[in-house]
Structure formats: structure tokens, C-alpha cells
Amino acid sequence: MFAFCKPVSSKKRFLPFRSLNDDFSFSLYEKAIALPANDWDAISNKNTIFLEREYLKIVETGEHTKLMSRYVIVYHKGKPCGIIYFQIVDFKAGIFGELMDNQVQDIKSKRLNLFEKYIDSNKDEVLLRLFTCGNNLVSGEYGYLFDKKLGEDQSHTILLKIVEIVSKEEKLARTISAILLKDFHTALQPVELFEEEKYSNFFVEPNLVVEIPAGVDSVANYIALFSKKYRNRAKSIFKSIEGVEIKYLNSEEIKQHEKQIYKLYEGIFEKAKFKLIKLPKDYFSVVKNAFEKEFTVKGYFFEGKLIAFASSFLMPDNSLEAHYIGFDYELNNQYNLYQNILYAMIDEAIKHKRSKVNLGRTAAEIKTTVGAKAENLICYIKPQNTISKLIQKPFISFLQPAEWIPRNPFKEEA
């Protein structure tokens, strides 16, 4: 369909309007601040907060020692027609935890000479460099946007070619081990294109979504739709948090409580199955300053001490996006902090007349007890060298969703 250009030397890779063919060109950037605002915004068009330049600046300038960003603007006959966001992340051998260690152990038995000394002696050395189209800090399709006039076939042909060019050029500095295109709700089209380019697709933990029924104007009305068992359970959860003060935090209050907010966030992070990138310590106050109206942080206080927090975004697509949370695990059972946070997200969405709540991944079974439904997410991966080919299977296996039992709190229809 297209005859595309080849990678160029490192000195020329950041020149503007590099030709792809007679009609298409692209410009590559290392910093969000360098992006031509009119061109990037013409495509992002406030479509999602996670592709807005202000948010990307925050991600980029955080204390991410393992993360680099790359930005691409695609042009059709000189006019912007697409934007692409990349993250480059290094994975150390020890980052995968015990589960991954066990899976890598299987590889070691087959490739003993290659892996044994390296894995056993170099836990802090990079095992995998991942070139991601998308955002590793959030779940969802936040890797690219194209003008709909191009169509899927044309857009994805251009996307894969730019992925190939930019990833190969990154090798001039350091080897990229694998390419990841992340978090799609449906299989990318045309299927044959991704097969020809040697991409393997796999499912990761699903996104849990609450659809707010039409006419529901309060949490009380929402749980009235539950069966008696789950309605009583919800009321018990609400009752258990009595005595805890819940309040919205403005930017000054977030800054005031930032150390405790971060400590609570770290408690969740350390228990995560897959620890990738830790947020910068001032993340919540910086985001609040940039997105004062869209970004909400609620604090849960007991006897003046912050014991939990929950953050969320009001998204342009009429949804509420649950963001990072944190809570005191020792107090969680007593006050049902986690489940109260889930209901608070639903309450927030209803107050702002949102049609759905994206609760994100993890804790799928618990989230279904508040009415969430699972939406599968598909990722695409392409190994780039021998090591990544060898660890691809255990890496994908590690990311596969664990077995869980979906619950249905709603009354059964007659």
C-alpha cells in the first residue's frame, strides 16, 4: 500500500517533517514541551486527558529513572493527521517478582549457559527494554490518535511503520528488546497486517466498568437496583465508615498531606503483582494544579489522620476514570475503606451525570460486587532479539489475568 522511508542517523532523527512517502511525513520529539501546540492539539482535541500535553509533561518530568518518552506527529500533505506517544522502560531481572523468577527458571533449564549466571548474579541489571506505544501508568488506549478520515487500515499501516522506524533508531543508544502496543478493547484491524509484522496478541487483566443506569441520580437509587443480599451488604459497608471524615482536597491540602498520601500510595504499589514505575512524590499536587476542575482527590480522615485517599478524573467522553488510590491496610477491614472508595467513585460519577465509571484493573471480583463488568483488554507484542523471544512466553504468562469469579449484585430480571 505504501513505500516508506528507512531509519536515519541519530543526528537527523529529530528533524521536522521527515518523509514517509509522497503524501505523509512525521516529526519526532523527545520532550512534550517541544511539541508544536497547534499541531498536537489539532488531533488530541481534548479527546482524552492522558494525551494532553500538560499531562504528558507531568509524566515525563517525574522521577522516572527508568522511563523515557517519545512523541510523533504525523502529517498528510503538511497538515497534522495523527499523534503517537511512546514510552521506553527498562525492566530489571528482579522486577518480575517471585512468579516471574519461577517462570524464568524454566527458561534457564533450557538455555542454562545463557541465563543462569546472568539472572542469578545480576538481579539489578536490565533484562528487558520495552518500547511501548501507550502509557504504562494508566490502563486504556492512550498510545495514538488519527484523523478518522484516514480509516483503520491506513492509520495502522502508518502506525506500524513509524513504530518500526523509531524503535530501530532507539537502538543507536541502546538495544530495544520488545515492542508493546497496549490496552485495546477490540482486535486491531486489519488482522493480517499485525500478523505479517510478527505481532502476537494476548489478553491482560480486564478493565472493570460500571455503567450508570439511566434515571439513577444517587447511590441510594443505584443500590436499590441490587438484590437484597448485595443491597444489605452495601448498607453495611456504608455504615462501617461512620466516624471517618471524607473531604475533597484542594491543591494546598494535597500539598499539606502529600507525604501521607504518598505513603498510602506506596502501600498499594508494594503489594502490586507487577511493579513497573513508581509515581513521583509530588504527582498528585502537580496534577491537581494542572487539571483543577477535572482531577479530584478525596481524603479519608480518622481523628485528624489521613487513612485513605482516592483520585479520579472527569474525562471528556462523559466517563469518570478512577485513578490512583491508597489506604491503611490495618484499618481497611474495620472501615471497609476499599469498598467505600469504590462506591465513592460511583457516587462521584452520578453527581457529575457521568454515564460510566472506569475502575481500572486488579481486584476484579470485588469490583463486580459493586456492579462493575469486565471489559477485556488486548495487547500486542513483538520481540526484537533472542532474549526477548525466549522470555516472551513467560512474560505474557505473567501478565495474563488470574482466575476470578464474577459477581452480579443486580436483581435478576423476571
Answer yes or no: do 180 and 223 share one domain.
no
Domain housing 250 = 213-354
What's the whole-model pTM score?
A: 0.90
Q: Does residue 5 form part of some domain? A: no
CA distance 266 to 270: 6
Q: What is the mean pLDDT of the chain?
A: 88
Q: Tell me the average pLDDT across 102-129.
A: 57
Q: Does residue 228 form part of some domain? A: yes
Q: Does residue 32 form part of some domain? A: yes
Q: How many CB atoms lie within 10 A of CB 50?
A: 22
Amino acid at 64: H
Answer yes or no: do 86 and 170 share one domain.
yes
Q: Does residue 4 form part of some domain? A: no
Answer yes or no: do 185 and 167 share one domain.
yes
Q: Tell me the average pLDDT across 13-18.
A: 90
Answer yes or no: do 284 and 344 share one domain.
yes
Task: Please tell me the predicted confidence (pLDDT) of residue 180.
Answer: 94
Task: Please tell me the predicted confidence (pLDDT) of residue 195.
Answer: 95
Q: Does residue 138 form part of some domain? A: yes
Task: Please tell me the predicted confidence (pLDDT) of residue 108.
Answer: 52
99 band by pLDDT with thresholds 50, 70 and 90: very low
Residue 2 pLDDT exceeds 80: no
CA distance 326 to 299: 10
Q: Does residue 189 form part of some domain? A: yes
Residue 392 pLDDT exceeds 80: no
Task: Please tell me the predicted confidence (pLDDT) of residue 105.
Answer: 55
Residue 112 pLDDT exceeds 50: no
Residue 227 pLDDT exceeds 70: yes
Answer yes or no: do 217 and 91 share one domain.
no
pLDDT tens digits, 195-204: 999 999 999 8
Pair 371, 410: CB distance under 8 Å: yes
Answer yes or no: do 260 and 308 share one domain.
yes
CA distance 82 to 148: 9
What residues contact residue 355 under an 8 Å CB cut-off, 6+ apart?
211, 212, 318, 319
Q: Tell me the average pLDDT across 172-195.
A: 88
Answer yes or no: do 264 and 339 share one domain.
yes
Task: Please tell me the predicted confidence (pLDDT) of residue 95.
Answer: 57
Q: What is the CATH number of the domain that holds 170?
A: 3.40.630.30
14 band by pLDDT with thresholds 50, 70 and 90: confident
Q: Does residue 193 form part of some domain? A: yes
8 band by pLDDT with thresholds 50, 70 and 90: low
Q: Tell me the average pLDDT across 367-373.
A: 97
Is the peptide bond between 280 and the residue preceding it cis, with omega within 30 degrees of 0? no
Q: Does residue 306 form part of some domain? A: yes
Task: Please tell me the predicted confidence (pLDDT) of residue 94.
Answer: 59
Instruction: Let me know if 133 is exposed, middle or buried by CB neighbors in 10 A (0-12, 13-18, 19+).
Output: buried
Answer yes or no: do 217 and 84 share one domain.
no
Q: Tell me the average pLDDT across 219-226.
A: 97
Task: Match 480522615 to its residue by C-alpha cell.
Answer: 301
Of 70, 57, 64, which is closest to residue 286 (Cα–Cα)?
Answer: 57
Indicate the DSSP class of residue 143: S
Q: Tell me the average pLDDT across 252-261.
A: 97
Q: Tell me the average pLDDT across 286-295.
A: 96
Q: Tell me the average pLDDT across 386-410.
A: 80
Task: Please tell me the predicted confidence (pLDDT) of residue 113.
Answer: 46
pLDDT tens digits, 344-364: 999 999 999 999 999 998 899
Answer yes or no: do 155 and 33 share one domain.
yes
Give me the percent of the chain exceeding a pLDDT of 90.
69
Q: Tell me the average pLDDT across 256-279.
A: 87
392 compared with 35, residue with greater pLDDT: 35
Residue 266 pLDDT exceeds 60: yes
What residues contact residue 49 under an 8 Å CB cut-off, 6+ apart?
55, 291, 294, 313, 315, 316, 321
Pair 132, 89: CB distance under 8 Å: yes
Task: Please tell me the predicted confidence (pLDDT) of residue 1.
Answer: 46
Answer yes or no: do 387 and 324 share one domain.
no
First to last CA, the chain: 53
Q: C-alpha grid cell for residue 292? A: 483543577
Pair 122, 93: CB distance under 8 Å: yes
Q: How many domains does the chain have?
A: 2
Answer yes or no: do 287 and 223 share one domain.
yes
CA distance 355 to 209: 10
Task: Please tell me the predicted confidence (pLDDT) of residue 207.
Answer: 94
Q: Tell me the average pLDDT across 297-317.
A: 97
pLDDT tens digits, 41-89: 999 998 899 999 999 999 988 665 568 999 999 999 999 999 999 999 8
Residue 245 pLDDT exceeds 50: yes
Task: Please tell me the predicted confidence (pLDDT) of residue 412.
Answer: 82
Residue 277 pLDDT exceeds 80: no
Answer yes or no: do 112 and 179 share one domain.
yes
CA distance 373 to 364: 9
